[in-house]
Amino acid sequence: MCCNKLSEGAAAKFAELDAFIDGLGIDRNDERRRGRLIQVLHRAQDIFGYLPREVQIHVAKKLFLSEAQVSGVVSFYNYFTTEPKGKYCIDVCMGTACYVKGSETVLRELERVLGIKADTNPTPDGLFSVNALRCVGACGLAPVMMVNGKVYGKVTPAKAVEIVNEYKKQG
Amino acid sequence: MNTVNLTINGKQVTVPAGSTILDAARQLNIKIPTLCHWDKLGCGVSNKPASCRICVVEVERRRNLAPACATPVMEGMVVHTNSQRALNARRTVLELMLSDHPQKCLTCAKNQDCELRMLAAEFGIEEVAFSGAKNRFEPDTSSEAIMRDLSKCVMCRRCETVCNKVQTVSALTGYGRGFSAKVGTASMIPLADTNCTFCGQCVNVCPVGAITGISYVKKVWAAINDPTKTVIVQTAPAVRVAVGQEFGFEPGVPVTGKLVAGLRALGFDKVFDTNFSADLTIMEEGTEIVERVKSGKNLPILTSCCPGWINFIEHNYPDLLHIPSSCKSPQQMFGAIAKSYYAEKIGVKPADLVVVSIMPCQAKKYEAARPEFSKDGVRDVDYVVTTRELCKMFREAGVNLANLDDDQYDSPLGQSSGAADIFGVTGGVLEAACRSVYYMLNGKNLEGDAINFRAVRGLDGIKEATVQIAPGKSINVAVCSGLGNARKVLDMVRQDPNRFQAIEIMACPGGCINGGGQPFLHGDTALLEKRMKGIYTEDEKKTLRLSHENSDIKALYAEFLGEPGSEKAHHLLHTHYHSK
């Protein structure tokens, strides 16, 4: 998952999304087209990094749905975000196993070090954003955090800060 | 047919397989309270999310309580609808709902019609045991027509169902999740910025005060009491068959004379009739039909009386905007004639003449505010008041229609034909047009029973017929009501533009008798049949049943407009549409 503002290379991104949707062969008269929505939104968020209104409207048109129908699905699922993410998107698992193993202290430490709140806007330099997720299915490694999809297991608050510092160095 | 036997509260009942416990209980006249449930919203859709849990009942040998509205009956089932356990559960559900509700019933527009308040009364709730988090929202008053106050919402989702499944507008959606879930618009933008058509069906089905009409009643009172203003009022066809039910009349019975008397009692200077301008619409639209059928261009012609439907085509079918009739709706034709012809006649400046409409509709409020219906900052129709809001005005002023003698509409904008009366129900506009088109093409009237185009009558969502407009000349017509049906018919037109020559479309299922401003049905869709009958009775009891024979319409053309379709008529009575 990445990070750039919508304006940067938007045309190319929309073209990439369109190529994907066109490949699905959506039929405007087929009620089942709604079943494709989540799949398309996943791809759109992969491409754009987030799902601003402009992208939702575009997806709605391509799938012959109303904007409200798309918006309702986006609002329901935690995974989808309508705000831009940082270049490095940190997800901390708050599923049961991770939680009892102390993932909340990891999350709070990340919030403190980065000076941002989870599930809100990224750091002012655009490098980091932090999200609280439900179970990512790696309970054996609890507590788990991910950076752009890369999984780090058995993290402690101190280890989390080390990981962040590594990414900071890369810029 | 397969049937199922079961016992409810000790009584045996046999119902068709597939029925719900609620259906079976109703057959036994056993009342189970419901809140989210609504049968037959229109277009064959019901709202059965089983989300409110107000209808839970106890079923023997079943561990959990069952929602009666969504639990199919089974052979030998034994149901108790009023066991202590069921009653306690319902009470808890209701109290939890009330704990996240403003409870400002005294000042709520829905006060007397609120299903939640009625349930609280039935359950004898005298205090709310729970106090917890409350969802807080600012009311959305962005549009001219519909207000949404989500803090009152109980998440029954009737509005969402009617908007998505019946009307296929899809301006509303479930938004968010968990406790903060709500019925929202796309990205929670203001309603005015969405693809809402303002049909108002959501207002009609909302059980509480979460969706209401924007009211202009205070402004109307101010105008009536302003000595510098001449205030005139017009009444839409469907109002007269619905207003009576609020004053103890048999539902559907027309109370036209009492409506006129009531409006006069409120202080309107003149009481006129939208039916007059419905006849005028037929003159213009009939002329347009004749021209288009003769030339074969821009067919099929679509009726344009309904502003909800016009919004729908502007949002969804930009490629078809050349085929609706260019005629303004009767409401707007009335406004245009009132502020020109009539203002001139009585020597009042248009700015000092206030035109109030009594409409069965919310979209009419939006329509009256469209910029193309104003001239030099003066609107053709100043304020729109719905049938329901009018009933409140009557009550506020102590006017009881039941105690009034019948009165007559004023002249010169009050006379109307039976053809105008039927504008209030699905099929009526097209029938009225056909009656006059026949005359326009043949120079003589239809005789005897031929005046009744029964093939286009009735509450079916889509009707197709072939109607004779001249000896040996027929056209194929379609009539549909409910925007979901309009979508089907417009898709047919896209596929085969030659299938129909004329199509009537009304946004609300059944037409204006079921408009977004009519007295609430509270789920009793049989009321629509009664209102429809009332409309056709009005038509049949008149001797004047053809729009082109209305002598005041003839005078209007002779004195002012010239011929139907003249340049002046086009300037005042026709409009254009925009892609949205």
Non-local CB neighbours of B65 within 8 Å, separated by 6+ positions? B56, B57, B58, B59, B85, B86, B89
Q: Which two tokens stand for residue B538?
A: 């009005």
Q: Where does residue B181 fall: left (phi above 0), alpha (psi -120 to 50 degrees), or beta otherwise?
A: beta
Find out whether B282 and B436 touch, Cβ atoms under 8 Å.
Answer: yes
Residue B563: count of CB within 10 angstroms of its CB: 12
Q: Cα dist. A13→A51, A83, A127, B127, B525 in Å?
A: 12, 17, 21, 57, 50
Distance CA B168, CA B189 (A): 19
Position B157 scores a pLDDT of: 94
Sign of CA dihedral B289, B294, B295, B298: positive
Q: How far is A60 from chain B (nearest CA, A)?
A: 11
Contact B170 A68 (CB under 8 A): yes
CATH among 1.10.1060.10, 3.40.1390.10, 3.10.20.740, 3.40.50.11780 for B3-82: 3.10.20.740
Nearest to B422 by CA among B519, B532, B287: B532
Distance CA B484, CA B505 (A): 11
Contact B176 A75 (CB under 8 A): yes
Position B542 scores a pLDDT of: 96
Q: Does B400 touch chain A (CB under 8 A)?
A: no
Find out whether B323 and B285 touch, Cβ atoms under 8 Å.
Answer: no
Non-local CB neighbours of B146 within 8 Å, separated by 6+ positions? B191, B196, B198, B200, B202, B203, B211, B212, B213, B214, B362, B516
Contact A66 B171 (CB under 8 A): yes
Position A8 scores a pLDDT of: 67
Position A6 scores a pLDDT of: 65
Find out whether B469 and B441 touch, Cβ atoms under 8 Å.
Answer: yes
Q: How far is B181 from chain A (nearest CA, A)?
A: 8
Maximum C-alpha span of chain A: 55
Q: How far is B398 from chain A (nearest CA, A)?
A: 44
Find out whether B285 and B325 touch, Cβ atoms under 8 Å.
Answer: yes
Which residues in chain A have Cβ-Cβ distances shorter than 8 Å to B173?
A: 66, 68-69, 71-72
Position B107 scores a pLDDT of: 95
Distance CA A3, CA B420 (A): 61
Sequence ranges of the domains in chain B: 3-82, 131-211, 218-573
User: Residues A14-73: pLDDT tens digits?
Assistant: 999 999 999 999 888 888 898 999 999 999 999 998 999 999 999 999 999 999 999 999
Contact B171 A82 (CB under 8 A): no
Which residues in chain A have Cβ-Cβ distances shorter than 8 Å to B177?
A: 75-76
User: Residues B350-378: pLDDT tens digits?
Assistant: 999 999 999 999 999 999 999 999 999 99
CB proximity under 8 Å: A 10-69 to B: 53, 56, 65-69
Which residues in chain A have Cβ-Cβ distances shorter than 8 Å to B175?
A: 71-72, 75-76
Chain B residue nearest residue A76, CA to CA: B176
Backbone angles phi, psi at B164, to 5 degrees: -90, -45
Distance CA B62, CA B406 (A): 60
Which residues in chain A have Cβ-Cβ distances shorter than 8 Å to B174?
A: 72, 76
Position A3 scores a pLDDT of: 44
Position B49 scores a pLDDT of: 87
Burial of B463 (0-12, 13-18, 19+ CB in 10 A): buried
Distance CA B144, CA B196 (A): 12
Find out whether B217 and B337 touch, Cβ atoms under 8 Å.
Answer: no
Position B264 scores a pLDDT of: 98
Position A161 scores a pLDDT of: 96
Find out whether B544 and B417 touch, Cβ atoms under 8 Å.
Answer: yes
The answer, yes or no, to whether residue A7 has pLDDT greater than 80, is no
Contact A67 B176 (CB under 8 A): no
CATH among 3.30.230.70, 3.40.50.1780, 3.90.79.10, 3.30.420.240 for B218-573: 3.40.50.1780
Contact A68 B177 (CB under 8 A): no
Q: Where does residue B438 fall: left (phi above 0), alpha (psi -120 to 50 degrees), or beta otherwise?
A: alpha
Please provide the average confidence, as pLDDT, over all residues in chain B. Answer: 96
Non-local CB neighbours of B9 within 8 Å, separated by 6+ positions? B28, B30, B79, B80, B81, B82
CB proximity under 8 Å: B 222-281 to A: none
Residue B295: count of CB within 10 angstroms of its CB: 9
User: Tokens 């029973």 label which residue?
Assistant: B449
Q: Which two tokens stand for residue B303?
A: 């009726």
Task: Point out the residue among A56, A68, A82 whose CB comes nearest to the CB of B171.
Answer: A68
DSSP B148-211: E-GGG-----HHHHIIIIIS-----EEES-GGG-EEE-GGG--GGGSS-----HHHHH-SSTTE
Distance CA B463, CA B491 (A): 15
The answer, yes or no, to whether residue A1 has pLDDT greater than 50, is no
Nearest-10 Cα torsion for B291, B296, B297, B298: 90
Q: Does A75 touch chain B (CB under 8 A)?
A: yes
Q: Does B180 touch chain A (CB under 8 A)?
A: no
Q: Does A165 touch chain B (CB under 8 A)?
A: no
Backbone angles phi, psi at B560, to 5 degrees: -135, -50
Chain A residue nearest residue B171, CA to CA: A68
Q: Does A156 touch chain B (CB under 8 A)?
A: no
Chain A residue nearest residue B191, CA to CA: A68
Contact A68 B176 (CB under 8 A): no
Q: Cα dist. B405→B243, B270, B400 in Å?
A: 15, 17, 11
DSSP B558-573: IIII-STT-HHHHHHH
Position A30 scores a pLDDT of: 86
Q: How far is A99 from chain B (nearest CA, A)?
A: 20
Which residues in chain B have Cβ-Cβ distances shorter than 8 Å to A65?
A: 170
The residues of B carrying an active-site annotation are 285, 288, 305, 325, 364, 367, 372, 512
Q: Does B30 touch chain A (CB under 8 A)?
A: no
Which residues in chain B have Cβ-Cβ distances shorter than 8 Å to A52?
A: none
Nearest to B110 by CA among B73, B149, B136: B149
According to DSSP, the residues that pair with B302 across neighbouring strands are B324, B503
Q: Does B165 touch chain A (CB under 8 A)?
A: no
Non-local CB neighbours of B578 within 8 Å, separated by 6+ positions? B314, B321
**Residue B78, SS3 per DSSP:** strand
B14-43 burial, b if ≥16 CB within 10 A, otherwise e?
Answer: ebeeebbbbbbbbeeebebbbbbbbbbbbb
Contact B170 A65 (CB under 8 A): yes
Substitution target in A27, A67, A73 with the highest count of B β-carbons within 10 Å is A67
**DSSP character at residue B324:** B
Find out whether B6 and B77 touch, Cβ atoms under 8 Å.
Answer: yes
Instruction: Could you please state the CATH topology (level 3) that the domain comprising B131-211 is classified under.
Output: Alpha-Beta Plaits (3.30.70)
- Supply angle C-alpha B384, B222, B414, rounded to 5: 50
Which residues in chain B have Cβ-Cβ distances shorter than 8 Å to A41?
A: none
Task: Point out the residue among A56, A65, A76 whose CB comes nearest to the CB of B177.
Answer: A76
Q: Which two tokens stand for residue B411?
A: 């002249």
Q: Does B194 touch chain A (CB under 8 A)?
A: yes
Its ipTM equals 0.88
B245-281 burial, b if ≥16 CB within 10 A, otherwise e?
Answer: bbbebebbebbbbbbbbbbbbbebbbbbbbbbbbbbb
Q: Which two tokens stand for residue B453?
A: 């185009």
- Supply angle C-alpha B426, B433, B311, rounded to 5: 55
Nearest to B307 by CA among B381, B370, B217: B370
**Residue A88, SS3 per DSSP:** strand
Q: Does A119 touch chain B (CB under 8 A)?
A: no
Position A61 scores a pLDDT of: 95
How close are the terminal C-alpha atoms of chain A, in Å?
Answer: 16
pLDDT band of residue A2 (cuts 50, 70, 90) is very low
Contact A69 B194 (CB under 8 A): no
Burial of B341 (0-12, 13-18, 19+ CB in 10 A): middle
Chain B residue nearest residue A82, CA to CA: B187
Which residues in chain A have Cβ-Cβ distances shorter than 8 Å to B164?
A: 69
Non-local CB neighbours of B351 within 8 Å, separated by 6+ positions? B378
Which pTM was predicted?
Answer: 0.92
Contact B170 A53 (CB under 8 A): no
Q: What is the mean pLDDT of residues A100-105?
A: 96
Q: How far is B480 from chain A (nearest CA, A)?
A: 20
Which residues in chain B have Cβ-Cβ distances shorter than 8 Å to A76?
A: 174-177
Q: Which two tokens stand for residue B465?
A: 């017929």
Contact A65 B173 (CB under 8 A): no
Q: Residue ranges of chain B with pLDDT lower than 50?
A: none
Interface A-B: count of C-beta contacts within 8 A: 47
B363-391 burial, b if ≥16 CB within 10 A, otherwise e?
Answer: bbbbbbebeebeeeebbbbbbbbbbbbbb
Q: Which two tokens stand for residue B117?
A: 């308040």
Distance CA B575, CA B580 (A): 16
